């Protein structure tokens, strides 16, 4: 079952995970982290996140393999984080994905997240 505002970050670069986790938690989101695709799949099996932020190039399973292994019924939305402008071509033109080009700033991250997860502190 998905918890509202639960974000799963999957990236092998600890500095990026730390930055994103801290920034999103300061905004009031619940954040979990995984450092490779297999660990990310395990986290999803434990509790389906509202959205997954997935680094495109990591050791271990490829992004395409990760996406193929997601639960076929009710998979969480996935945002591919990449510096590779050819990401849509590399993932066989998948249109069910959102892309966040690296390097991104905090505003771009929050805008992207807002498309999937309601902000925990709505403006009054």
Q: Is residue 122 part of a domain?
A: no
pLDDT value for 13: 94
pLDDT value for 85: 78
Residue 117, pLDDT > 90, answer: no
Contact 25, 69 (CB under 8 A): no
pLDDT value for 90: 72
Contact 75, 50 (CB under 8 A): no
Q: Is residue 77 part of a domain?
A: yes
Q: Is residue 44 part of a domain?
A: yes
Q: Is residue 120 part of a domain?
A: no
Mean pLDDT across the stretch 15-41?
Answer: 94
* pLDDT tens digits along 49-108: 999 999 998 888 988 899 989 877 788 999 999 988 777 777 776 777 888 988 899 999
Q: Is residue 123 part of a domain?
A: no
Q: Cα–Cα distance between 114 and 124 in angstroms, integer?
A: 17
Q: For residue 71, report the phi and psi dihedrals to the nearest 5 degrees.
A: -50, 120
Q: Which domain holds residue 65?
A: 6-114
The share of the chain scoring above pLDDT 70, in percent, equals 90
Q: Is residue 124 part of a domain?
A: no
Mean pLDDT across the stretch 32-48?
Answer: 95
Residue 1, pLDDT > 50, answer: no
Contact 56, 78 (CB under 8 A): no
Average pLDDT of the chain is 87
CATH number of the domain residue 97 falls in = 3.40.50.2300
Q: Report residue 96 CA to chain centroid gap.
A: 14
Number of domains in the chain: 1
Q: Is residue 24 part of a domain?
A: yes
Q: Is residue 121 part of a domain?
A: no
């Amino acid at each position: 079952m998905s918890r509202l505002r639960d974000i799963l970050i999957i990236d092998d670069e600890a500095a990026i995970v730390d930055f994103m986790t801290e920034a999103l938690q300061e905004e009031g989101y619940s954040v979990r982290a995984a450092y490779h695709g297999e660990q990310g799949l395990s986290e999803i099996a434990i509790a389906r996140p509202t959205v997954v932020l997935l680094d495109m190039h990591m050791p271990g399973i490829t992004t395409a393999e990760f996406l193929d292994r997601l639960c076929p019924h009710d998979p969480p939305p996935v945002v591919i984080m990449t510096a590779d402008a050819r990401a849509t071509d590399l993932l066989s033109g998948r249109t069910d994905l959102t892309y966040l080009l690296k390097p991104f700033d905090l505003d771009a991250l929050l805008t992207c997240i807002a498309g999937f997860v309601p902000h925990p502190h709505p403006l009054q």
